[in-house]
Structure 1
Amino acid sequence: MSMEKGTKENPWELKTPPQSSEYEMYRAEKDGKDILVCTVGKTVLHYDYRCIADLHAMLVQHGDWMELGSADEGKPAKEGTVEAWGRSSENPIGGWYGLKKGFRGRFGMYLPPLLEELGLAEVEHNPRNNRMRVQL
């Protein structure tokens, strides 16, 4: 039996870009939709699973480093950041990839390390103001 990464039994174990906090992510299904479950301490966030492929495609098109700009749902996201894209009406799903009201933000914190783990992106690991780009 293979222990595929990214399942509830064998989640991806990740660290935030500054390497200051650990969290887990795995693929699940909710209401017939593929989602990413992100567990940070006692907080559980959900993201639309297609955000992985969509974010990768956007980075390919962007072609350069992009600031992460992580922010909570209630705070505005800095223009031109991964966070702003993850909630923009201009992205492929036309809005938030985060699915749990009140916890839809932090896209720029929790998604980049997953793309790095999957070999799709490079992520900086500075104390703050990190950026990401497509894996070259």
Structure 2
Amino acid sequence: MVKGNGTKDSPWQLQTPPGTSDYTIYKDDEKNVLVCTVGKTVLHYDPRCINDLHTMLKEHGDWMELGSADEQKPAKEGTVEAWGRWEKNPVGGWYGLKKGLRGRFGMYIPPLMEALGLAELEHNPKNNRMRAK
């Protein structure tokens, strides 16, 4: 069971897929963004990513590698990270909204989807995958 209810006062408390870092996410309804805080770093994601990624994973029908990468590094083809920045996804590019910090989609959104009951997620030291529930 996930702690928090996704608001600024009670953000979801999550861990990265390998379980090595804690972070929080909440939905800022006024700004229509997901606010992800990792230590002192604050990232923003388009909240449509949750439903869009769930739909894509259902269509994909199998496990998909997460492939998390910083914005400045290329994403491995065929991964959740690559899809989260692909020009043919439903938003036409990046789900990350903060220039310079738009990457790591494959690290921080999958645990949220698992917590919301939308996906299954592996929790290995590296090379984790996810699939739609």
Q: TM-score range by the shorter chain?
A: over 0.9
CA offsets, 1:63-100, max 9 Å, x none?
Answer: 00000000000000000000000000010000000000
Residue identity in the other structure for 1:72: D
Residue identity in the other structure for 1:47: Y
Structure 2 matches for 1:20-35, cutoff 5 A? 20-29=20-29, 33-35=31-33
Aligned-partner Cα distance in 1 for 2:61–2:8 = 33
Aligned-partner Cα distance in 2 for 1:132–1:28 = 26
Residue identity in the other structure for 1:36: L
Give 4+ residue runs of structure 1 displaced > 6 Å after superposition.
Answer: none
Gaps of 5+ in 2: none
Aligned-partner Cα distance in 2 for 1:19–1:52 = 21
Structure-2-length-normalised TM-score = 0.95
Cross-structure match for 2:117: 119
Structure-1-length-normalised TM-score = 0.93
Cross-structure match for 2:95: 97
Gaps of 5+ in 1: none
Residue identity in the other structure for 2:105: F
Aligned-partner Cα distance in 2 for 1:50–1:9 = 21
How much does 1:29 deviate? Answer: 3.6
Aligned-partner Cα distance in 1 for 2:57–2:12 = 21
Aligned-partner Cα distance in 1 for 2:14–2:129 = 17
Aligned-partner Cα distance in 1 for 2:94–2:19 = 25
Aligned-partner Cα distance in 2 for 1:29–1:115 = 18
Q: Is 1:86–2:84 an aligned residue pair?
A: yes
Residue identity in the other structure for 1:103: L
Aligned-partner Cα distance in 2 for 1:12–1:22 = 11
Residue identity in the other structure for 2:126: R
| CA RMSD of superposed structures (Å) | 1.0
Structure 2 matches for 1:1-136, cutoff 5 A? 5-29=5-29, 33-135=31-133
Residue identity in the other structure for 1:114: L
CA offsets, 1:26-56, max 9 Å, x none?
Answer: 00045xx511000000000000011000000
